[in-house]
């Protein structure tokens, strides 16, 4: 049995702070409530210490698992209570001052008295649950002073050191390439570091070991050693002692690292050495181990392996260092490796297993360790049912079936993450396997769920992108389609990683993952629901009356919109995502979702938003692009917290400039009353991204253009204009901070003119995209003009992308 507290510890860390903020609103608290909140603060602090202890355990029992589960559930419910508090008491309004405000507060207290008593009763129930959990902690003796002795588990990485190279496929070429990379012709005398990086199970240790033995056998080095580190920081001293043992020094100066390192340096100082430091996890580890290796100008070489792409190149100012990213197996080599392990003498797959074989290989995704592990499990098994079962479920087995080593290796990566990163990684289990997840969509959902800490000098979205980059750097998430600033526009997780986080998510009751017609048979409270419903004939599982969704924080539907549960059943939902769903969408009860922060109806058949959508006071993101919505209700301007308003070609009401929190806006160029969005929004202080669907057209006698005024849009960094023809003008000093410009037109101007004057005024421009749907003389005139103007601002032409009728220019 395995302890799972990854997402929990981060949430429990944040709760005392939330409760403290609540105490500052004493004007809204009943006396009983005011007394109970500090009690919860104190108890949650004690629980946090116990949870930290549980995280450190290599072994635990059923009592510990049960206790952690109870803490998780009460923490969720306390957070829901806190978030609902302000909404139910005073609509989230901040306390005002003065006599009239005092009178107003008194009246509001009387009006909300029933709600206040309900809140107090709920809090009393939470207090009783916390007391019971606290008593259990004392009975189970869970805490930092208690240790649970257990035999250390076998290191699943050991097998990689004893793999026969001949048993692998496509390996000789890799060994040759890395060996040449290390030696670099043998002429350089300076110290060189080659770091082999890649995801867990990709063969880094096996490759480094093969290269090590090959170079060692060639006799180029007087000293050589292969040592492993591991995820724990205290392993560094052992690693340095292991180095001394490899060099024949059995009295390495005691246990003190400050005595061990000089001994190693003395041995290596006058020798050409080859050292492999396997399985590095942190820059702190490398910073200490690196002190062992003198730069003696004898052509010494160091090879490191790591799951983190930034190690060790980011932590030592060595000029001669190279990163080798190990790739996954291609389809041909993966199939050969599987055949070699699963069937005698590498025989081909039996015909009746071919379909299942294809599914299994797709799940393994070219990851060598997964391919070998699954092949071993299926060796000499010819039942289609066994193969199909494994194709559906690689790692989520309740018994030991041969995949334990693979799970342990993935667990090392997961457990090395900080709590907030574990939570963000688990969130990707919500999306179907091999899904390409939009970066924009993912980080905004993380923020809406409360996973991302607020920063002082950096935006929450930038912090969330940092989280994503760290998961990418650790090879747990794969970036796709890098954008203009090196930020991936989308990402996905490897099928094996996806299977792993699905298992974790279910163990931790982080998310409930369902297919159509499948209702969970356990009694766990549903906190996040991900439902796939691909057929119109499927009975919507989300509408099953026995399924309680009153505690659900997010609802994500894939397939048919009819699978969505009734919105009236959702009490604490923060995220509602129906993006890309087919069929009619029911929005009945939407405006009662008082905690809703993220709403995406993108790509659905919805044609109208409720008039009272302005009641969703917590809403931060609204996406109705690619829908039938033509106009937004006037109440939309009441959404004071809305940061991302994405309506596509839909028209907005007047007064949109009052929405001071807006950072991203996608809309038509005119309002419902024919007002000009550019004129209304040009002085907005916080707008960073603007996508404009303009109705400017080329007609006889019509000189209507999209005009960006001088000194307008001071904070916009990215601008996208969609228009039938290039009728755009940039006045001097317009858009002073814009870095990315996208111009998307249907056709060029009939008179053959360029139609885009003033681009040379965009002094901070870094990237330009120009696109025409059809090829004509006017389009090519615009292409030439934009090229010339952009080249004046962008001497580096690689940042200019031009497409006409699907062809690049």
Q: What is the pLDDT of residue 92?
A: 47
Q: What is the pLDDT of residue 49?
A: 72
Q: What is the pLDDT of residues 435-445, one digit of tens each?
A: 999 999 999 99
| 540 confidence band (pLDDT: 50, 70, 90) | low
Q: Answer positive or negative: Cα dihedral of 754, 755, 759, 760.
A: positive
Q: What is the pLDDT of residue 551?
A: 94
Contact 443, 505 (CB under 8 A): no
Q: What is the pLDDT of residue 578?
A: 96
Q: What is the pLDDT of residues 160-205, one digit of tens each?
A: 555 565 666 777 888 999 999 999 876 778 899 999 999 999 999 9
Give the Cα separation of 102 and 90 in Å (integer): 13
541 vs 348, higher pLDDT: 348
DSSP-derived 3-state class of residue 122: helix
Q: Answer positive or negative: Cα dihedral of 305, 310, 315, 321.
A: positive
What is the rounded average pLDDT of the residues 389-415?
73
688 vs 523, higher pLDDT: 688
| 2 confidence band (pLDDT: 50, 70, 90) | very low
pTM of the model as a whole? 0.88
Q: What is the pLDDT of residues 579-599, one digit of tens each?
A: 999 999 999 999 999 999 999
Nearest to 484 by CA among 735, 809, 766: 766
| 113 confidence band (pLDDT: 50, 70, 90) | very low
Residue 417 has pLDDT above 70, yes or no: yes
Q: How many helices (H) and strands (E) does the chain have?
A: 21, 24
Q: What is the pLDDT of residues 285-297, one digit of tens each?
A: 898 999 999 999 9
Q: What is the pLDDT of residue 336?
A: 87
Range in 72-86, 252-266, 292-306, 547-561 with the lowest mean pLDDT:
252-266
Q: How far is CA 470 from the centre of its chain?
A: 9
Q: Is 745 left (phi over 0), alpha (psi -120 to 50) or beta?
A: beta
Residue 606 has pLDDT above 90, yes or no: yes
What is the rounded average pLDDT of the residues 482-502?
89
Q: What is the pLDDT of residues 137-167, one digit of tens each?
A: 777 665 544 444 444 455 555 555 555 656 6
Give the Cα separation of 142 and 139 in Å (integer): 8
Give the Cα separation of 353 and 215 in Å (integer): 42
Q: What is the pLDDT of residue 702?
A: 55
Q: Answer positive or negative: Cα dihedral of 801, 802, 808, 809.
A: negative
Q: E-strand spans in 390-492?
A: 437-438, 478-482, 488-492
What is the rounded average pLDDT of the residues 81-102?
62
98 vs 675, higher pLDDT: 675
Q: What is the pLDDT of residues 738-779, one digit of tens each?
A: 999 999 998 888 777 777 888 888 888 889 999 999 998 888
């Amino acid at each position: 049995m395995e302890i799972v507290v990854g997402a929990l510890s981060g949430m429990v860390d944040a709760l005392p702070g939330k409760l403290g903020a609540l105490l500052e609103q004493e004007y809204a608290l009943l006396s009983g409530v005011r007394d109970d909140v500090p009690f919860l603060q104190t108890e949650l602090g004690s629980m946090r210490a116990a949870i930290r202890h549980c995280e450190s355990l290599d072994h635990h029992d059923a009592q510990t698992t049960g206790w952690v589960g109870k803490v998780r559930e009460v923490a969720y419910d306390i957070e829901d209570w806190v978030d609902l508090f302000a909404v139910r008491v005073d609509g989230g309004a901040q306390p005002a001052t003065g006599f009239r405000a005092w009178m107003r507060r008194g009246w509001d207290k009387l009006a909300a008295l029933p709600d206040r008593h309900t809140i107090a009763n709920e809090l009393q129930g939470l207090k009783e649950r916390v007391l019971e959990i606290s008593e259990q902690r004392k009975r189970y003796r869970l805490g930092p002073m208690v240790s649970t002795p257990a035999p250390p588990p076998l290191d699943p990485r050991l097998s990689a050191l004893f793999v026969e190279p001949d048993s692998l496929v496509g390996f000789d070429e890799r060994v040759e390439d890395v060996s040449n990379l290390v030696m670099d012709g043998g002429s350089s005398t300076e110290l060189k570091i080659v770091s082999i990086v890649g995801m867990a199970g990709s063969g880094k240790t096996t490759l480094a070991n093969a290269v090590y033995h090959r170079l060692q056998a060639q006799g180029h080095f007087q000293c050589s050693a292969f040592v492993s580190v591991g995820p724990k920081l205290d392993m560094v001293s052992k690693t340095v002692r292991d180095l001394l043992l490899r060099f024949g020094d059995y009295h390495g100066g005691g246990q003190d690292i400050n005595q061990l390192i000089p001994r190693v340096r003395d041995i290596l100082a006058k020798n050409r050495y080859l050292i492999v430091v396997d399985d590095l996890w942190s820059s702190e580890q490398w910073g200490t181990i690196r002190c062992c290796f003198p730069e003696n100008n004898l052509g010494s070489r160091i090879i490191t392996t790591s799951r983190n792409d930034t190690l060790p190149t980011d932590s030592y100012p060595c000029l001669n260092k190279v990163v080798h990213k190990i790739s996954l197996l291609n389809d041909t080599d993966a199939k050969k490796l599987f055949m070699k392990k699963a069937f005698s003498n590498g025989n081909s797959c039996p015909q009746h297993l071919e379909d299942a074989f294809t599914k299994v290989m797709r799940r393994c995704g070219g990851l060598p360790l997964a391919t070998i592990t699954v092949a071993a499990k299926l060796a000499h098994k010819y039942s289609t049912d066994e193969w199909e079962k494994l194709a559906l479920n690689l790692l989520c087995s309740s018994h030991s079936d041969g995949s334990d080593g693979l799970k342990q290796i993935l667990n090392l990566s997961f457990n090395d993450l900080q709590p907030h990163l574990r939570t963000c990684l688990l969130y990707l289990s919500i999306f179907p396997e091999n899904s390409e997840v939009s970066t924009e969509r993912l980080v905004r959902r993380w923020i809406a769920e409360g996973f991302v800490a607020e920063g002082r000098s950096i935006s929450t979205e930038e912090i969330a992108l940092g989280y994503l980059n760290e998961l990418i750097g650790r090879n747990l998430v794969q970036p796709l389609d890098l954008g203009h600033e090196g930020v991936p526009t989308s990402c996905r997780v490897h099928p094996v990683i996806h299977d792993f986080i699905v298992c974790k998510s279910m163990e931790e009751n982080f998310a409930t993952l369902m297919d159509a017609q499948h209702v969970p048979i356990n009694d766990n409270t549903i906190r996040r629901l991900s439902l796939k419903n691909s057929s119109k004939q499927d009975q919507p599982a989300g509408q099953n009356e026995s399924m309680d969704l009153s505690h659900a924080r997010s609802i994500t539907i894939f397939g048919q919109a009819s699978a969505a549960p009734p919105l009236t059943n959702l009490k604490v939902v923060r995220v509602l995502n129906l993006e890309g769903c087919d069929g009619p969408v029911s929005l009945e009860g939407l405006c009662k979702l008082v905690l809703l922060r993220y709403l995406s109806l993108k790509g659905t058949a919805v044609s109208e938003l409720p008039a009272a959508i302005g009641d969703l006071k917590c809403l931060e993101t609204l996406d109705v692009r690619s829908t039938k919505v033509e106009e937004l209700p006037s109440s939309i301007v009441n959404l004071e917290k809305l940061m991302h308003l994405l309506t596509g070609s839909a028209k907005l009401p007047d007064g949109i400039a009052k929405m001071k929190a807006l950072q991203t806006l996608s809309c038509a160029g005119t309002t419902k009353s024919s007002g000009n969005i550019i004129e209304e929004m040009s002085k907005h202080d916080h707008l960073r991204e603007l996508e404009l669907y303009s109705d400017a057209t080329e007609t006889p006698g019509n000189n209507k253009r999209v005009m960006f005024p001088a000194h307008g849009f001071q904070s916009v960094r990215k601008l996208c204009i969609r228009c039938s023809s290039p009728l755009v003008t940039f006045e001097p000093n317009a858009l002073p901070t814009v870095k990315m410009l996208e111009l998307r037109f249907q056709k060029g101007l009939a008179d053959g003119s360029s139609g885009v004057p003033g681009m040379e005024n965009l002094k901070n421009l870094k990237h330009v995209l120009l696109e025409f749907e059809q090829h004509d003389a006017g389009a090519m005139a615009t292409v030439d003009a934009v090229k010339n103007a952009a080249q004046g601002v962008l001497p580096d032409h690689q940042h200019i992308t031009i497409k006409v009728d699907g062809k690049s220019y």
